[in-house]
Amino acid sequence: MNTYKKNYIGKGTQVPNMSIVKATVKMTELLKYVHEYEGEQYCTFEVARLQEPDKFGRDHTVYCTTMEDVPEEGTKKTTK
């Protein structure tokens, strides 16, 4: 079974009074998820609001999503 895995690569903060999130990403992590399309290199990532700011006040997280094959578990037995 295929499933999506979030690979966290950075964090960021909402810019006050603007619809902008300023994020910092560790380049060594970002480069792991670079892909090529028509001879150009791209990196697709997502920015999501955290439920609670971390201890440094960052309120957004940055991650790249990858598809991973997860072995299916055997049939589950139910007890009565």
Give the tens place of pLDDT for each residue, 45-71.
999 999 999 999 999 999 999 988 888
Per-residue model confidence (pLDDT) at position 56:
94
d(CA 77, CA 9): 39
Structure tokens at 65: 């999503």
Rounded to an integer, what distance in angstroms lies between the CA atom of residue 80 and that of residue 78? 7
Distance CA 8, CA 30 (A): 9
On the question of pLDDT at 75 being above 90, the answer is no
> What does the pLDDT look like over 4-60, one tens digit per residue?
999 999 999 999 999 999 999 999 999 999 999 999 999 999 999 999 999 999 999
Sorted by sequence, the CB contacts under 8 Å of residue 64 that are 6+ apart come out as 6, 7, 9, 30, 32, 33, 43, 44, 45, 46
Residue type, 77: K
Q: Whole-prediction pTM value?
A: 0.77
